[in-house]
Structure 1
Amino acid sequence: MEVKVAVFGYLRFPPGSIGSVRPHLITFVEATREHDGCIAYDVAEDLADPGLIRFSELWPSEESLDAHLVAPHIAPWREAAKKLGLQERVFTAYTTNSSRAV
């Protein structure tokens, strides 16, 4: 079975800034889905924790994830996030060579 990389993480912003974060985040996610070769790239606001945005990603290889991390749309997103009060950034990548539906 082909090795894949799953990434889970979150960003924390001041709850009052989420309205300003959304347009930048939408642009970033759309560019990632269109250009970076991900299998899945999902982002959601945590309904129970205002200001927390959760990410789940699935990449076909470590190389594809590495390419995403230096893609042209990364720097503008990170700069916008910083200006909008990014408080915390936590992401962890896991490699897998199997999967099953649950």
Structure 2
Amino acid sequence: MKAKVAVFGILRFPPDNISDVLPHLKEFVDQTQKHDACILYEVAEDLTDPGLLRFSEIWPDRASLEKHLVAPHIKPWREQAKQYGLLERSFDSYDISSTAISV
């Protein structure tokens, strides 16, 4: 499947809350990968900035991304994020047209 949309973003939590956030985040990512037609959906904690989570997403089209944003598992995840002290949220999406090249 050819990718059409890339999303990169961050969430920031108090560093002391990350261990409590991760089980809820894992459930959210699992549900996204299972139900939302994403090509790639990855999250990683920044190694040099405690409490910062980085997201990389690849979607087949903008419609799939828009469906994801209103999927049933979004609301519970966002509520959990607030409960654990979400400090910052920033996501940007990009339309892409080239094919990936291995380097």
Question: In the alignment, is the contact (CA less than 8 A) between 2:3 and 2:39 conserved in 1?
Answer: no
Q: Which residue pairs with 2:39 in the alignment?
A: 39
Q: Which residue pairs with 2:61 in the alignment?
A: 61
Residues 31-68 of structure 1, C-alpha deviation per residue, up to 9 Å, x if partnerless? 00000000000100001000000000000000000000
- Give identity over the alignment, percent: 61
Which consecutive unaligned segments of at least 5 residues does structure 1 have? none
Cα separation, 1, equivalents of 2:96 and 2:26: 28
Tell me by how many angstroms 1:3 deviates: 6.1
Question: In the alignment, is the contact (CA less than 8 A) between 1:3 and 1:95 conserved in 2?
Answer: no
1:1-102 alignment runs, 5 A limit? 4-101=4-101, 102=103
Which consecutive unaligned segments of at least 5 residues does structure 2 have? none
CA RMSD of aligned residues (A): 1.0
Runs of 4 or more above 6 Å deviation:
none
Residue 37 of structure 2 aligns to which amino acid in structure 1? Answer: G
Length-normalised TM-score, structure 1: 0.96
